[in-house]
Amino acid sequence: MKQLLIKLPLPVSAVGLSFAGLANLLDDTFFFKSIFTFLSMVILIAVFFKIFIDPKEVKSQLSQVTIAATFPTFFMGIALLTKQIIQWNTTLALVLWGLATVGHILFILYFTATFAMKKKLSFVLPSWFVVYVGLVASAITAPLFKLPILIFVAKIILGFGFISFIILLPIIIRRSHLLPIPKPLQATLAIFSAPVALNLVGYFSVIQNKQAGLIFLQIILMLVFYLWVLSNIITFLKADFSPAQAALTFPMVISATAIKVSSAYLITLYPFLKIFGLIISYLSLLIAIFIVFAILAKYLSFIFSVSKT
């Protein structure tokens, strides 16, 4: 078991995050949400133990921008899991939410000081969205605790997510254009579909007096990025295994979540869209489930093959 944890790539936390997202997306189906919650917990707990079993290696990996930029998926996964944990124990869920949120904020400070402040364009990757916009995962689950202070914090986090996206988007696009993403990291391009979707889900979760114009703008942007990623998803999947392929998972899950909540909103305005909304919601869900399990299979194949050698 110890050897398996040592060989476990840190980016696998993105897969754990994705299963947490699927559990929340299927919260009304006890069977599936239970399976996805269990898988998410197993993966995130494994990453947690890896940190203590092999701290020197973890520290070494977190000094590399490519891996460090994906690590906040660990905190995001815990934050999203609190939606399931709160059904068992509210206090435990609140403690975990607080630890995940504070941990993510501290990691943002570390990442900014270690990488962002160096202002090297080669350091910039699509996974930077994970570091900064990813904090919105905490905003999504904050309202579940029904505490005014957490609603206030969630609104601040959501604002931070919007600002971070606006600042990072042109920088990351410029980097991708001037300095092509290395082949082992090209799957991280899928992350382009995540920040708008994450902010959109956060907006629906936190804001009571919603502005239709802002919602429509986010929906359009989300669909543009989502369809672009879908047009390239087969290429990303067919590539040789790289831990970076975990980046394919959460963008699909959060996009499916955004499509579901957006469809529900649009149906209230335009009831004739109900059938269409249901079709694309289920289709995006099936795509997300397929991608997450496909990447999980690749990770398991890699981990056990490495362990045997």
- Rounded CA gap, 14 and 3, in Å? 21
Whole-model pTM: value is 0.95
> Three-state DSSP class for 27?
coil
- Rounded CA gap, 96 and 74, in Å? 12
- Rounded CA gap, 163 and 145, in Å? 25
Domain range list for the chain: 2-308
CATH architecture, domain defined by 2-308: Alpha/alpha barrel (1.50)
Place of tokens 């600042």: 167
Q: What is the pLDDT of residue 307?
A: 54
CA–centroid distance for 82 within its chain? 15
C-alpha distances in Å from residue 87, one per residue of 23, 94, 195, 209: 13, 11, 27, 27
Render pLDDT for 258-308 as a digit per residue (tens, 0 to 9).
Answer: 999 999 999 999 999 999 999 999 999 999 999 999 999 999 999 888 655
Model confidence at 6, pLDDT cuts 50, 70, 90, reads: confident
Q: Which amino acid is at 226?
A: Y
Render pLDDT for 236-264 as a digit per residue (tens, 0 to 9).
Answer: 999 999 999 999 999 999 999 999 999 99
CA–centroid distance for 117 within its chain? 24
Of 191, 193, 194, the C-alpha closest to 181 is: 191
